[in-house]
Amino acid sequence: MRLIFLLLIVSFSLQVTAYQQNEYLVKADKQYITNLSLDFTRSSEVIRDDILLINLTEDEASLLKKNPEVALVVENRDLHLFKTPNDLNKKLWGLNNPRKSRAAIDINAPEAWDITTGSKDVIVAVIDTGANINHDDLMDNLWENEAELNGIAGVDDDNNGYIDDIFGFDFPKNTGALGDRVGHGTHVSGTIGAKGDNSSGVVGVNWDVSLMILNMFPDRGQGQVDDAIKAIDYAVANGAQVINASWGGPAPSNDEEKEEYQLLYEAIERAGEAGVTFVAAAGNDRDDADITPMFPAAYDLDNIISVGSMDSRGRASFFSNYGKVSVDVFAPGSGITSTTANGRTGSMSGTSMASPHVAGVVALMLSVDESLNTDEIKSALINTCTPNKSLKSKSVCAGHVNAHAAIMAIE
């Protein structure tokens, strides 16, 4: 009986070699496994006395399953490492809350990292105060403008109007020499993409990513609309897929002001037309942004994702703006540890820290599928956020961002 059955399989397999075969594990008694392995010398491997790894078509596998002498026939499944980087420390509660009772109060980064840890192919423009580009945790994750990197100092090698814009540009100072005298942009950059698993500093939402460093703030003082427009247009022209804007201003109070801000609106609109997602901090005024909007977060543009801040207990941070209509989602923003301008790490709070968590999640999503458009990204983020009672009436999604669920939704 056994021999007949084996012969049947052999002859069958000869006829169907054109069909797709998969790897199966077959469990049976030792003698049966030995015989089976002799019949399939080219496509089988004895794993142990009673288990054989074997290539079979689906039909062959189902025939074998019916054999009473065979205990089990199963496909050989893929296993993967649970990825935990060596620089995920307990301070990084926003990525993975260390308190068991608050396990849901984070963005589910380790779960997301089992699917993707990011990609250098994804470019995130950090429009901010610059960055310490020599920081151990940022230097490997900087976007590079190849033409300028391999070009001549003092020459605009790619003829884009900016001289030596190798890793980005400082618009107020009109120089490609980057730094961060304020410390804000370095911190934001680290949350999006501090190099992961490099035994140094912290880990960002992305272990690998390309950060385009665009400074629109002078060392002291306010940034201005003209530099914001230049930075947004630069990001779009140079291939950024995501822009993080951890800044803003109060809503225009009269028509004249409204007109002045109109050009910023149009720049973000242009970014949207180019497929760029614009992630913006909702602001730190404790206001209902539906009544007192903050711009650009509250602009009514489909490519803007407005982000409020939550603390490690899952409540809206005391400083955070909120809004059932104009704040899309919350993210960790109180007591966030990230890279600092002095080359170390440190804690900061604000919707400025919440926004880069979401920009980071968008980058993770794009590392899985770079063809996602801004609508797909935004709706996946909103539809999959972790429901959160204290944020229910405070945001469109009624909760906080969930990196793992967002990636699962677009896979």
Q: Of 352, 355, 367, 395, which residue is the catalytic one?
A: 352
**Contact, 79 vs 72, CB < 8 A?**
no
**Contact, 33 vs 50, CB < 8 A?**
yes
Q: Of 87, 164, 184, 395, which residue is the catalytic one?
A: 184
253 classed as catalytic: no
Rounded to the nearest whole angstrom, what is the least distance from the CB of residue 196 to Ca ion in the complex? 6
Please report, in angstroms and rounded to a whole number, the separation of the first and last CA atoms in the chain: 46
Picking from 183, 206, 179, the residue whose alpha carbon sits closest to that of residue 88 is 206
Rounded to the nearest whole angstrom, what is the least distance from the CB of residue 271 to Ca ion in the complex? 20
208 classed as catalytic: no
Which among 20-28, 65-73, 82-90, 389-397 is the span making contact with Ca ion, rule CB under 5 A? 82-90
23 phi and psi angles, rounded to 5 deg = -80, 130
Q: Which of residues 121-140 bind Ca ion (CB under 5 A)?
A: 137
291 phi and psi angles, rounded to 5 deg = -100, -45
Contacts 24+ apart (CB under 8 A), 387-393: 388/310, 388/314, 388/330, 390/310, 390/314, 390/315, 390/316, 391/308, 391/310, 391/314, 391/315, 391/316, 391/322, 391/330, 393/324
Rounded to the nearest whole angstrom, what is the least distance from the CB of residue 84 to Ca ion in the complex? 13
Nearer to Ca ion, 195 or 404 (CB): 195
Which among 121-129, 161-169, 247-255, 384-392 is the span making contact with Ca ion, rule CB under 5 A? 161-169
Rule CB under 5 A: say whether 201 interacts with Ca ion. yes
Rule CB under 5 A: say whether 87 interacts with Ca ion. yes
334 classed as catalytic: no
What CA–CA distances, in Å, run from 19 to 5, 62, 387, 399? 20, 14, 46, 48
Nearer to Ca ion, 201 or 296 (CB): 201
Distance CA 367, CA 13 (A): 40
Picking from 404, 399, 391, 348, the residue whose alpha carbon sits closest to that of residue 91 is 348
Q: What is the SS3 assignment for 224?
A: coil
Selected binder of Ca ion within 32, 143, 162, 171 (CB under 5 A): 162
Rule CB under 5 A: say whether 157 interacts with Ca ion. yes
Rule CB under 5 A: say whether 164 interacts with Ca ion. yes
What is the total count of residues that contact Ca ion (CB under 5 A)?
A: 16
Nearer to Ca ion, 32 or 162 (CB): 162
Rule CB under 5 A: say whether 155 interacts with Ca ion. yes
Rounded to the nearest whole angstrom, what is the least distance from the CB of residue 238 to Ca ion in the complex? 10
- Going by the DSSP 8-state scheme, the letter that residue 288 receives in this structure is B
Given the rule CB under 5 A, which residues bind Ca ion? 87, 137, 148, 151, 155-158, 160, 162, 164-165, 195, 198, 200-201
Active site residues: 128, 184, 352
